Structure 1
Amino acid sequence: MNCDRKDLLLYAVTDRYWLEEKTLPEVVEDSLKGGATFVQLREKNLGEKEFLEEAKELQKLCRKYRVPFVVNDNISIAKEMGADGVHIGQEDGDPKEVRKILGEEKIIGVSVQTVEQAETAVADGADYLGVGAMFPTGSKEDASEVDFPTLKKICETVSVPVVAIGGITKENVFQLKDTGIAGIAVISAIYGQKNIYNSAKELKAITEELFL
């Protein structure tokens, strides 16, 4: 499964922090109905059995909406349940090794913050890059910010699509216009909102205007 640039337009990263009375599949389906074009399952504190079951449910949903589904960090879960791919950070493994485990057809995304990291990730087989944090974010306490010139330079340097992440909202997303990104990855801008469907729909319209 190739990673098409247009698939990265509105990249939704899950977070169960805001679930309240709903289940994760319910809120993810709301975001897919609203127009999310890519889904990443991000779980930091869930047991392997629950993680696996949840991943299988979300994979089914994403197939229904024909949207790529990747797992954050957990390569063994991604392999076991047949995810479309994984997203890894700088400390989570070598894309070359991940490729050997998952196979040629799977998507591998890599988080980077510098041009050098970007070039290395692509040389090692990354299909797309996540760059950030672009703005202050509460979703990842240790995220350091990347400036706009660096983001633009990364987009100009690499041959794979780039998605911006970190503190992006419908109010500040306009600042990312003309940087060269394929789209935005968001957590709270979709899943932290009262109406997830409407939030995704609004962001989708904005990203289509800015990045297509």
Structure 2
Amino acid sequence: MVDKNIDYSLYLITNRYDSSDEQFLNIVFEACNSGVTLVQLREKDVTTKRYFDLAVAVKKITDKFKVPLIIDDRVDICLAVNAAGVHIGDNELPVKRVRQLIGKDKILGVSVKDVERAKESEAQGADYFGVGAIYPTKTKVITKHTTMATLKDIVYNVAIPVNAIGGIKEDNILSFKNTGISGVCMVSEIMQAENVRTKVTNCLKNVEQLM
């Protein structure tokens, strides 16, 4: 059974870029050791076996630091490694069906861009939302801009945690002041940081000012 009382404040979404597996896992280790509160393993172009092996390796790290592991898109991988939960987007299985597959105890995150989708997903069993892209992003995930006004509107209209995503950096975290979000999702700012520990520490200080 998974404890759903989750701290969403600094949510790391992985991207391996050009790093080796060893370098990638070292970054995840440093990030967890430095205070990220949640980790999502996101892999878009790998085989199921490859995704599974990476998930097993990452989960050893997240378990060590008691950081929940969320698997992007893949319900099968989530269940296979007994991750804390799964995060899905618009092109995945319906929210209601995913909830049925993973059961009531696992965490279900959903990407949303408007209030209608948010309300519908909340009713079907979502535990939290990722809303964005708020700022321009260079990740491989194709997304469109979401305004601060829309972000606030979603927060106001749902009862579950909402996280901002997309181009979020250490120096723009404070722009989310008074939005009501539960945290920020970060990819390149942490995964490509020269010093992961310093970057996470600084980002946490800024996030704390939002809460």
**Would you say 1:143 and 2:104 are equivalent positions?**
no
TM-score normalised to structure 2 length: 0.95
Q: Measure, in 1, the Cα distance between the counterparts of 2:195 and 2:116.
A: 39
Q: Deviations over 1:184-212 (max 9, x none)?
A: 0010110011111211111111111222x
Equivalent position of 1:110 in the other structure: 110
Give the number of the structure with larger relative contact order, counting CA–CA contacts within 8 Å between residues 6 or more apart.
Answer: 1
**Residue pairs, 1:88-167, within 5 angstroms:** 88-140=88-140, 142-167=142-167
Partners of 2:142 and 2:60 in 1: CA distance: 32
Identity percentage over the alignment? 37
2:36 maps to which residue? 36
CA distance in structure 1 between the partners assigned to 2:189 and 2:128 by the alignment: 21
Q: Which amino acid aligns with 2:108?
A: I
2:199 — aligned with what? 199
Residue 178 of structure 2 is matched in structure 1 by: 178
Shift of 1:23: 3.0
Shift of residue 20 of structure 1? 5.4
Partner-residue secondary structure (3-state), 1:172: helix
- Supply the distance in 2 between the matched residues of 1:114 and 1:140 (Cα, whole angstroms): 22
What are the ranges of 5 or more consecutive residues in structure 2 without an aligned counterpart? none
Structure 1 141/104 Cα, relative in aligned 2: closer, same or farther at 3 Å? closer
Distance in structure 2 (CA, Å) of the matches to 1:63 and 1:38: 11
Partner of 1:87: 87
Aligned length: 210
The aligned residue for residue 210 of structure 1 is 210
Match of 1:48 in 2: 48
> What's the RMSD between the two structures over aligned residues?
1.4
Q: Is the 8 A contact 1:127 1:160 kept in 2?
A: yes
What is the SS of the residue equivalent to 1:8? coil
Q: Indicate the SS of the match to 1:210.
A: coil
Unaligned runs of 5+ in 1: none
Please report how far the alpha carbon of residue 59 of structure 1 lies from its aligned counterpart in structure 2 after TM superposition: 1.3
Contact 1:3-1:128 at 8 Å conserved across structures = no
Q: Output the TM-score relative to the length of structure 1.
A: 0.94
Deviation of residue 33 (structure 1)? 1.3
Measure, in 2, the Cα distance between the counterparts of 1:195 and 1:113. Answer: 32
Q: CA deviation at 1:3?
A: 3.2
Give the drift of 1:21: 7.9
Does the CA contact (< 8 Å) of 1:79 and 1:101 recur in 2? no
